[in-house]
Amino acid sequence: MRVAIVKYNAGNIKSVIYALNRLGVNPILTDDEEELRSADKVIFPGVGEASSAMRYLKEAGLDKILPTLTQPFLGICIGQQLMCKHSEEGDIAGLGIFPLEVKKFNENEGQKVPHMGWNKLANTNSVLFEDIDPEHAYVYYVHSYYCELSKEFTVATTDYVHDYSGALHRDNFYSVQFHPEKSGDVGEQVLRNFIEKT
């Protein structure tokens, strides 16, 4: 099993590598087109700011490569947001894999921003969440921006300020707003499902 992690100047990559190591997977970190296309699975994780991350993707030509990949592909946190068509963070165009907007939480709604800590997934409808008890589907979040809901692509919701897309799916593309690598047993199962079942 060849798993590639997209290298694009984003933070928090090592914790994803360690989480995969615990599943017996030794991924490669790369921005090379041939290595990405030949991988069995591709993971697009990260922590960072959308406009600077998107700038690096464009400089490396990854903005053209990633949307054309055909193997199972998983975006995490900012990875999910950059897979959408537009983000309010830096007012930038994303990869357009999901035709959705990424918006900032309204700080006047009585909740602290960023949304940081454990929260529950609801309305789960994806292979990513198989063998996870929905009553105990708590995962870890750190974000100030969120992906809007979609009847077609949302496969899990989270409630913070309001409901938003906790996970998305379109064809071979999957994504989650939370950090599975920091989400204990639930997050480990999400990663296992992606590796073994997609």
- Element holding 167 (H helix, E strand): strand 162-170
Tokens found for residue 186: 């639930």
d(CA 153, CA 57): 24
Phi first, then psi: give them for residue 33, nearest 5 degrees. -60, -45
Owner of token pair 């296309």: 37
- Element holding 166 (H helix, E strand): strand 162-170
Residue 50 DSSP one-character state: H
d(CA 160, CA 26): 34
Q: How many residues does the chain have?
A: 198
Q: Which amino acid is at 22?
A: R
List residues with catalytic annotation: 77, 179, 181
Quickly list H helices, the chain.
13-22, 33-38, 50-59, 62-65, 78-82, 184-197
| Residue 194: CB atoms within 10 Å | 23
